[in-house]
């Protein structure tokens, strides 16, 4: 973990990267520290797939429904979202400033036989290099950056005209402080302690304004809640804690 790239002029927080790189080996353990993220995965993928299918005129029941679409997964970590989306046919570029996470992601993709282009870089560098995508994802990322508006502005720059951007994050409410930080990190141990800082959390209004500032129009927002009886996450109207938002760049 000693090697930590410095990302001058970026929205990346070095301390946050260290937090995530420390558990590179745990990324793919379905019963490990990131088990709640694994359980959240089907819901996140379905949301991305269904919005992409609607926007690009695809049949979401086809196992290659994202074929031909270029997708950027910002903060891809060990690739637990990048890999399934690549299997659905998308040409996925997964970026993360954490070298350990990218190493874990590459190793896993090689073994499971899925092609993903993983890079140790930031969205600012992607934007500067004029990389453009049909779909740009910032899933569980915006709550970890130093400057939300700047981050979304640079991320939005990589969305092609007519393209889609989706973000998932945690709202900044008293309820989210109680549930997402106190309960999830300290009482239940669902996510490692220190994963989230309450003052970094983002409200749906702030995210929508940031999208607007990046030239995107918000098309959907949905809450995500954990159903303890089913042991699964499901969509909900309640956006007080976890939520997802979709936006598009006008063609």
Please tell me whether residue 202 binds another protein under the rule CB under 8 A: no
18 binds another protein (CB under 8 A): no
From 5, 33, 60, 223, residue interacting with another protein (rule: CB under 8 A): 60
Find the part of the chain contacting another protein (CB under 8 A) among 59-67, 123-131, 140-148, 243-251.
59-67
The kind and range of the H/E element at 70 are: strand 70-74
Strands 133-139 and 70-74 turn out to be parallel
Q: In what order do the strands lie in the sheet with 117-119?
A: 117-119, 91-95, 70-74, 133-139, 159-170, 242-248, 217-227, 232-236
**81 versus 216: smaller Cβ distance to another protein:** 81
CB-based contacts of 120, cutoff 8 Å, min separation 6: 5, 95, 96, 97, 98, 99, 102
Please, what is the angle between helix 14-21 and helix 99-112, to 10°? 40
Nearer to another protein, 62 or 197 (CB): 62
Q: Where are the alpha helices (DSSP H) in the chain?
A: 14-21, 35-56, 82-87, 99-112, 123-128, 148-156, 174-176, 204-213
User: Residue 25 interacts with another protein (CB under 8 A)?
Assistant: no
Nearest CB to another protein, comparing residues 112 and 146? 112
Query: Least CB distance from residue 45 to another protein, whole Å?
Result: 5
Q: Which of 1, 18, 46, 187 binds another protein (CB under 8 A)?
A: 46
Choose the binding region for another protein from 77-85, 124-132, 145-153, 236-244 (rule: CB under 8 A): 77-85
Q: Does 173 bind another protein (CB under 8 A)?
A: no
- The answer to whether residue 227 forms part of the interface with another protein (CB under 8 A) is no
Helix axes 148-156, 204-213, angle to 10 degrees: 50
Of residues 8, 63, 174, 251, which one binds another protein by CB under 8 A? 63
Candidates 13, 22, 26, 38; binder of another protein (CB under 8 A) is 38
Binding mask 115-144 for another protein (x = CB under 8 A): x-----------------------------
Number of residues that bind another protein (CB under 8 A): 26
Nearest Cα residue to 163 out of 72, 83, 61: 72
165 contacts 153 by C-beta, under 8 angstroms: no
The helix or strand, by DSSP H or E, that contains position 168, with its residue range, turns out to be strand 159-170
Candidate list 99, 114, 120, 127; residue touching another protein; CB under 8 A: 114
Q: What is the contact surface with another protein in residues (CB under 8 A)?
A: 30, 38-39, 41-42, 45-46, 49, 60-65, 83-89, 111-115
């Amino acid at each position: 973990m000693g090697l930590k790239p410095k990302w001058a002029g970026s929205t990346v927080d070095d301390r946050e990267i260290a937090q995530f790189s420390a558990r590179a080996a745990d990324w793919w353990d379905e019963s490990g520290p990131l088990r709640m993220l694994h359980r959240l995965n089907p819901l996140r993928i379905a949301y991305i797939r269904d919005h992409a299918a609607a926007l690009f005129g695809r049949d979401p029941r086809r196992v290659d429904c994202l074929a031909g679409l270029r997708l950027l997964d910002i903060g891809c970590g060990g690739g637990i979202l990048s890999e399934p989306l690549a299997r659905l046919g998308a040409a996925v570029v997964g970026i993360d400033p954490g070298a350990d996470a990218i190493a874990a992601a590459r190793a896993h993709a090689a073994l499971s036989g899925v092609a993903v282009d993983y890079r140790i870089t930031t969205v600012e560098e992607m934007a500067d290099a004029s990389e453009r995508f049909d779909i740009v994802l910032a899933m569980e990322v915006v709550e970890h950056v130093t400057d939300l508006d700047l981050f979304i502005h640079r991320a939005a720059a990589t969305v092609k005209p007519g393209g889609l951007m989706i973000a998932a994050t945690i709202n900044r409410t008293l309820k989210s402080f109680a549930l997402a930080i106190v309960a999830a990190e300290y009482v239940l141990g669902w996510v490692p302690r220190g994963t989230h800082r309450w003052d970094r959390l983002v409200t749906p209004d702030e995210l929508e304004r940031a999208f607007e500032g990046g030239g995107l129009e918000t098309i959907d927002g949905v809450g995500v809640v954990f159903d303890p009886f089913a042991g699964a996450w499901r969509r909900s109207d309640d956006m007080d804690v976890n939520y997802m938002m979709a936006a598009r760049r006008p063609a």
